[in-house]
Structures are given as structure tokens and as C-alpha cells.
Amino acid sequence: METLKNKIVMITGASKGLGKALALEFASKGAHLAICARHEEELLKVKEEAHAFGIKVLAVTADVAESRDVERFTALAEDYFGRIDVLINNASILGPGPIPNLLDYPEEDYVQVLRVNAVSPFLVTKRVLPGMLQRNNGSIINVTSEAGHTGYAGWGAYGISKFALEGMTETWADEVSGTRVRINTVDPGEMNTGMHELAVPHCDYELADPKDTVPVFVYLASDASQFVNGRRFEAQNFKEEEVL
């Protein structure tokens, strides 16, 4: 998709799973990347793979649940690229696994899951959004889950954090309505990732490859979606021609 060429795409949690698949897909389409994750070695491997597509990559080891890391990452990205066109809030954690029922959920783990999954997208968006509003252009994509749309026993703080993320997305989308900045959520569905293995050990049904869920992200990052705001998409059921 030509409209992605030279766009600046920021992805949190880009060292593995969906984040890695997104980084490599956008790189293959000519977008430049600002990526972060907590694990440096895995992140640098993604950087090396993305470089093979001939694009620029800024890779920063950072924990986006920490406001100082958010400031450092975004400041470095803005200094290096001059702007951020697309932000994908992908970083998240599952919490203790197997996931305990809420009655047995440790308080410190509950708080940490909400901080990473719900507070960090707030922190990164709050830092990136002013530049997008100033340029009157930009796309923010928050990665959610079916567990953030329907409450399921046994999904604990993870599901609750995604409910919070979806509510925040709707609120922020309403606040930026009337501008050319849009904020949407994507539920990638169940995927063959390390996080899913922790959540559902010994899974006995077929899971999607993270690479197969990226088309909706590409669409939401492209100019084709410039008037799409406040929507929730299911990646595994996405068909661009059906978007109204």
C-alpha cells in the first residue's frame, strides 16, 4: 500500500508476537519504525530484520508503564524522525499464569497488569497526541482482546485492563472527533503467541498466526481510514471492502 511509504510508525511491545509481526509488515511496506520493548536482545533482532527492507528503525529498550521511559522513547523518536504518524499501543502483559480467579488474585499483580495494559497506552497517547493534533493528522491503534469486550471467568486483571482500554479509546476518540486524528481499537483474536500459551496451556484448537492479523492495522494506518474513528475491529474477520 503506497500510502504507508515513509510514514513514521511507533509500536510498543515490538520484540515478539503481534508487535514483531506488525513491525516487519510495516517495514515491508516502506514505513519507518520507532519500536520499543523491555527485552533488548529480542528487540534488536527485530530491528535487524526490519532494516533489511531498507527503512529507518529506531529501537529503544523501554518499559512504557514508566512515564520516564515513555518520555525518553517518544522524545528520541520525535528528534530522530521529526514526527509520529501512527501509534500502535501493543505492549501488554498477561499477569500470573495460570490466571487465578479474582478472589485469589494478588493485589500487586492486579495493579501491575492494569498499569501496563491500561495506564501505559494512556501515557504514550498523551505524549504523542499533541503533535498529531498540531499537524491535524494521525492514527492511534489500541490492541484489545475479546476478553475486553466480554467478561470471562479466569481472565482476571487482563480482561479488566482491556475493558479499561476500550473505554479510554472511545472517550479519546470522541474528544478528537472533528479533527483528522483518529483512534480505534483492534481485537486480533486468539493467536499462536507465548502469551496465549500462558493463558491457555495445552490449547487444543487452531490459532491464528500473528502475521495473518495485520491487514486491519495496515488499513487503519493508511490514508484510506482517515475518517474512521472510535471503531472496534476484529482482525480475523476484517474485510476492507466492508468498512463503511
Q: Cα(121)–Cα(109) distance, rounded to whole angstroms? A: 18
Helix boundaries (H) for the chain: 17-28, 40-51, 67-81, 107-114, 120-135, 156-176, 194-199, 215-221
Assess contact for 213 and 21: CB atoms under 8 A. Answer: yes
Assess contact for 213 and 236: CB atoms under 8 A. Answer: yes
Q: What is the CA radius of gyration of the chain?
A: 17
Q: Cα(138)–Cα(129) distance, rounded to whole angstroms? A: 8
Q: Which residues are catalytic?
A: 158
Measured between alpha carbons, how far apart are the two ends of the chain, in Å?
A: 19
Q: Cα(244)–Cα(63) distance, rounded to whole angstroms? A: 36
